[in-house]
Amino acid sequence: MQKSTIAWAVSALLSSAAQAAPATQFKEAFDGIGHMLVVPYYTVQSGNATLLNIVNTDKTNGKAVKLRFRGAANADTLFDFTLFLSPGDVWAAEVSQNPATGLARLYTPDNSCTLPTQVNGDFNTARTNPQADRPNETREGYIDIITMADVLPGTAVYTATKHVKGAPPIRCSEGVVVPVALRSLQTEAGIAAAGFGAPTTGLFANWSIFNVPEATSWSGKATAIAAVAADGKPGAGNVVMKPQTSDVPPGAAHDLTADPLLRSGAVQLVQSDLPDLSTPYIGSITPAQQAAQLSGVLAKTGLKNEYFTDDRVQAQTDWVFSMPMRRYSVALNPAMLLPEYTVLSPEYVHAANSFVQGSAATKKVCTTVPDYGFWDRSEYYLDHDASSEDVELGVGIPMPRYRHFCGAVSVWSINAGDEFALSSLAARVSRSNLEIGYRDGWGHIAMPSINGAGTPLIGAAFSRATSTNIGNNISGNFGLAWEHRYVRPGDVIP
């Protein structure tokens, strides 16, 4: 490297450090831009496909980003890779079902660099329940997106991955040539010598679920988490870049992740498992402490939303409950089909408030919803204890006393008839049906909670309907995505 290039790299590093103080805590970034992103749900069931766009709003630094697709049943890793975003770059991809294998698969025509250089292909079932319908296990889940490091101007990685006239100097995405600067990142020593900067904020993502045959779609933004400094402003995290390899990382698993299966050795920890959402990102925090902090950021004690199931327009509604931090409290051992736990402080899931439900092929860890109820649009109310006065008056129908959140992503279909009947999203991994008897309205749910800590959860209501204009002989399908509204720990409930 020439002297001028070294000077430029040092200057950029100092400039980046001066602009962002070391991060000391996490907060949800309600503007949608952060260090970490979580897409609450993807699906490729029954003709659905999911589009994902990730945007780097940093106009100076590139970003080394970890993408991980996790299954709805147990948050098992199904597909992961490293993505390099240039300053101002957008990466776009589609997840659909491979008709030949039944597996979810990723396709991107994007020319941003990745490791491995070719990421188009089927998801992997190696870590899913061996007795389950393994292709089905890949068709629904959620997505983690983590900024591992800033890619600083003047470094070899920056030069190799920076777009020039629309593409990197070497078209990494064609999978033919791996730039020398990226080959060196397959070892920890190579990463240490690459000149990465501390990760700063700047990422946002949009997701869309669409069904071409049925002309229906939904869209939304990823939940963003920012690592912030003592003054509450976005700060600089720890560099958590890891090799995208199957090598065993040095050090104790307890120092690298809070994932109970990786810590116990029930699933072999490899370099590509890192970082996850518990890998220490701020200061000298431990993985269990980070998992507890991030769980607290996303924790809710209550949830409210609408439902729409009017038969006159063939309306259907599914409520999606995505729990991206549950994996760091509990996971189902795929060999023993028994739960394993990591003790967090405060605790969110432990052996006393969770249980395993289902046959060997459908086993999932569940927690019990303590209270829930639904209104129609005219103030009729139906409570979960099935003793509502409205039932006695012939309005609504009795609901089961207990409901559960099972799996890492749980889907409740409203008034669908049963869990196999048509529903808005056609979910199949962790779906249940709830008959209310009211056609349209809204509902509330009290979250499973230990000492008021709540449940770390994100999600939305997904509705679909058919609109018919008889006079003009016009009809069409439409989708509605309503993000859940929440009560958080410490909130006063009206």
pLDDT > 50? residue 9: no
pTM of the model: 0.93
**Per the domain annotation, does 52 fall within a domain?**
yes
Residues 227 and 367 in one domain: no
**Per the domain annotation, does 461 fall within a domain?**
yes
Rounded distance between C-alpha atoms, residue 296 and residue 142, angstroms: 19
Angle at 112 between CA 233 and CA 38, to 5 degrees: 45
pLDDT > 50? residue 69: yes
Residues 266 and 335 in one domain: no
Rounded distance between C-alpha atoms, residue 301 and residue 490, angstroms: 9
Query: What residue type is assigned to position 479 of the chain?
Result: G
Q: What are phi and psi of 200, to 5 degrees?
A: -115, 175
For residue range 478-490, list pLDDT tens digits in order: 899 999 999 999 9
Residues 93 and 34 in one domain: yes
Rounded distance between C-alpha atoms, residue 199 and residue 225, angstroms: 13
Residues 207 and 317 in one domain: no
**Per the domain annotation, does 331 fall within a domain?**
yes
> What total number of domains does the chain contain?
2
**Per the domain annotation, does 291 fall within a domain?**
no
pLDDT > 80? residue 332: yes
Contact 333, 340 (CB under 8 A): yes
Residues 326 and 244 in one domain: no
Q: Which residue has the tokens 């959860």?
A: 457
Per-residue burial over 290-314, b if 16 or more Cβ lie within 10 Å, else e, is bbbbbbbbbbbbbbebbbbbeeebe
Q: How confident is the model at residue 4 (pLDDT cuts 50, 70, 90)?
A: very low
For residue range 269-303, list pLDDT tens digits in order: 999 999 999 999 999 999 999 999 999 999 999 99
State both tokens at 184: 């060196």
**Per the domain annotation, does 251 fall within a domain?**
yes
For residue range 231-251, list pLDDT tens digits in order: 999 999 999 999 999 999 999
Q: Which residue has the tokens 């669908």?
A: 416
**Per the domain annotation, does 397 fall within a domain?**
yes
* Residue that is last in its domain, among 255, 286, 317: 286
**Per the domain annotation, does 353 fall within a domain?**
yes
Query: Could you tell me how far CA 477 lies from the centroid of its own chain?
Result: 27
State both tokens at 74: 């147990």
Q: What is the DSSP letter of 247?
A: S
Residues 203 and 269 in one domain: yes
Residues 370 and 273 in one domain: no
Residues 282 and 304 in one domain: no
State both tokens at 491: 């909130």
How many residues are there in the chain?
494
* Residues linked to residue 13 through DSSP beta bridges, in sequence order: none
Q: How confident is the model at residue 170 (pLDDT cuts 50, 70, 90)?
A: low
Q: How confident is the model at residue 405 (pLDDT cuts 50, 70, 90)?
A: very high
Residues 48 and 103 in one domain: yes
Does residue 346 have a cis peptide bond before it, meaning omega lies within 30 degrees of 0?
yes
Rounded distance between C-alpha atoms, residue 468 and residue 452, angstroms: 47
**Per the domain annotation, does 292 fall within a domain?**
no
* Residue that is last in its domain, among 253, 286, 319: 286
Residues 218 and 336 in one domain: no
Instruction: Please state the rounded mean pLDDT for residues 376-398.
Output: 67
Residues 346 and 251 in one domain: no
* Residue that is last in its domain, among 286, 313, 332: 286
Residues 305 and 197 in one domain: no
Query: What residue type is assigned to position 255 of the chain?
Result: D
Write the DSSP assignment of 56-102 as a string of letters. E--SS-EEEEEEEEEETTT--EEEEEEEEE-TT-EEEEEEEE-TTT-
Rounded distance between C-alpha atoms, residue 460 and residue 408, angstroms: 15
What's the domain range around 476? 298-487
Rounded distance between C-alpha atoms, residue 182 and residue 81, angstroms: 13
pLDDT at position 16 is 47
pLDDT > 60? residue 5: no
